[in-house]
């Protein structure tokens, strides 16, 4: 079965990304398998019959022209394997042990994913041996002396009501051989890794070491990042909650801005390389006058620069609201020496504080009174429980991750694409970084909402 679902709602950024996939030949869609599934699934005994097969596919492109172009060239359209339960599985549930680890920064919904994994493994497949690894990849390394956590339905019953992760998390690289040694010592058959781009790269290294040793061990990733910047993922869990929280901060900034003469409200949100949170919140509220994101360069000075545009806005309306992603305008705040954190990420300069001070200086130079209200909700956004939409999403991601693992699939992640859950090879997901297409319909809609123009000399 090949399916194409054209219902995108208002998620224009997804449509832009579909248009920007690049050459289909560069994207691998084949899912690695540990072997032939020869065991009848326990789900066959359940009252529902919603099994799928590896031949069920979801079209990558949603437009007729893109599909027709592929067919005209003599090639089948690019498609992804449909996620879901298989009628025959690879692992014997009575002899299977699973492990769950959470890596990288915090994000709304991690506990929801953990809960979904445990409940699906236990009630769907009858697996009772499930362990949690403490504090990310550190938990695999003997020198840290971190005990594992036994996970059961009782243990995870209420964890979705809390933010963060009950397992803890960490950043930084750890020796791959020691990680696999620990998996072997623990007799783990399936490892679920919840994380973002850095975690996926670590996952690939772990999979290579597993293949090198000839082990029959499945590794499944669940994509996690507030920034929503993972390639071939239309939306990562936690993003919807992050946008909700960003909108709350923007509303507060707007109230403050209109409550004083010549007042500017500045809200800095997360988004190192991709400005999806800033752009989506701006598009949703229509109360923002300037949205600054990493993908769209801007100049501070000059007749067409940001400061002149802000000056004109304040003069005309008496107030302004600015939303800036943390990775925007780094040419102004990056030092000559590149510094990196323990995960290898470049440390960003603080564009929010920089803008606040530059705005003060500019209005002082033209002898105009200005009031500034600065809001940075970053850590609040990371730490809150998931909203209802993200909770449902997390539940589906966890369930489909379990179905894939039990079928013997490995080195893959579960993605939402064209309103279907699909299985994606990790090596394809780390090929590129998803960013806002500044020539696409989504960003055009943001610019129409703010009226900010290009702000370039």
Give the active site residues: 227
Q: Cβ(279)–Cβ(436) under 8 Å? A: yes
Q: Cβ(250)–Cβ(450) under 8 Å? A: no
The rounded distance, in Å, linking the Cα atoms of 298 and 309 is 11
Q: Cβ(280)–Cβ(247) under 8 Å? A: no
Instruction: Return the beta strands (E) in 56-189 as ranges.
Output: 57-59, 79-82, 88-89, 97-102, 129-133, 149-150
The rounded distance, in Å, linking the Cα atoms of 148 and 98 is 12
The rounded distance, in Å, linking the Cα atoms of 426 and 416 is 14
Q: Which 3-state string (H, E, C) describes 209-234?
A: HHHHHCCCCEEEEEEECCCCCECCCC
Q: Which helix (H) or strand (E) holds 2?
A: strand 2-3
Terminal-to-terminal C-alpha distance of the chain: 52
The rounded distance, in Å, linking the Cα atoms of 109 and 368 is 45
The two structure tokens encoding residue 195: 């994380």
The rounded distance, in Å, linking the Cα atoms of 297 and 283 is 19
Nearest Cα to Cα of residue 400 among 117, 110, 31: 117
Nearest Cα to Cα of residue 284 among 238, 231, 236, 240: 240
- Per DSSP bridges, beta strands 409-410 and 32-33 are antiparallel
The rounded distance, in Å, linking the Cα atoms of 207 and 199 is 12
DSSP string, 342-392: TTSPBPPP-HHHHHHHHHHHHHHHTT---EEEEE--HHHHHHSPP-HHHHH
The two structure tokens encoding residue 215: 């082990």
Instruction: Return the beta strands (E) in 137-227 as ranges.
Output: 149-150, 190-195, 218-223
323 Cβ neighbours under 8 A, 6+ residues apart = 246, 250, 267, 269, 278, 281, 282, 288, 290, 291, 292
The two structure tokens encoding residue 101: 């680890």
């Amino acid at each position: 079965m090949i399916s194409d679902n054209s219902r995108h709602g208002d998620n224009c950024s997804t449509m832009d990304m579909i248009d920007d996939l690049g050459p289909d030949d560069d994207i691998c869609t084949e899912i690695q398998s540990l072997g032939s599934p020869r065991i009848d699934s326990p789900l066959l005994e359940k009252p529902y019959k919603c099994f799928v097969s590896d031949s069920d596919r979801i079209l990558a492109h949603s437009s007729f022209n893109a599909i027709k172009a592929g067919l005209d060239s003599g090639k089948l359209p690019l498609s992804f394997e449909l996620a879901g339960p298989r009628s025959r599985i690879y692992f014997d549930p009575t002899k299977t042990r699973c492990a769950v680890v959470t890596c990288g920064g915090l994000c709304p919904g991690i506990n929801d994913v953990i809960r979904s994994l445990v409940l699906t493994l236990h009630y769907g497949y009858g697996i009772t041996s499930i362990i949690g690894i403490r504090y990310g990849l550190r938990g695999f390394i003997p020198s840290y002396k971190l005990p594992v956590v036994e996970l059961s339905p009782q243990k995870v019953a209420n964890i979705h009501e809390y933010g963060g992760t009950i397992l803890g998390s960490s950043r930084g690289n750890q020796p791959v051989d020691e990680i696999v040694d620990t998996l072997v010592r623990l007799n783990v058959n399936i490892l679920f890794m919840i994380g973002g781009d850095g975690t996926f790269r670590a996952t690939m290294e772990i999979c290579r070491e597993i293949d090198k040793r000839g082990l029959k061990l499945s590794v499944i990733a669940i994509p996690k990042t507030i920034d929503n910047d993972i390639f071939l993922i239309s939306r990562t869990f936690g993003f919807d909650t992050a946008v909700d929280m960003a909108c709350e901060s923007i509303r507060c900034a707007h109230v403050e801005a209109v409550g004083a003469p010549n007042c500017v409200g500045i809200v800095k949100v997360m988004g190192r390389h991709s400005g999806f949170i800033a752009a989506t919140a701006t598009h949703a509220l229509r109360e923002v006058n300037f949205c600054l994101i990493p993908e769209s360069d801007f100049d501070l000075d000059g007749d067409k620069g940001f400061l002149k545009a802000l000056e004109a806005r304040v003069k005309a309306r008496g107030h302004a609201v600015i939303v800036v992603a943390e990775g925007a305008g780094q040419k102004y705040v990056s030092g000559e020496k590149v510094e990196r954190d323990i995960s290898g990420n470049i440390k960003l300069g603080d564009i929010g504080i920089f803008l606040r001070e530059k705005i003060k200086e500019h209005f002082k130079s033209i002898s105009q009174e200005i009031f500034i209200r600065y809001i940075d909700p970053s850590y609040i956004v990371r730490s809150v429980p998931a909203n209802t939409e993200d909770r449902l999403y997390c539940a589906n991601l966890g369930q489909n991750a379990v179905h894939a693992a039990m079928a013997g699939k490995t080195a893959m992640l579960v993605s939402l694409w064209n309103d279907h859950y699909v299985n994606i090879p990790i090596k394809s997901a780390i090929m590129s970084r998803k960013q806002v297409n500044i020539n696409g319909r989504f960003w055009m809609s943001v610019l129409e909402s703010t009226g900010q123009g290009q702000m370039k000399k």
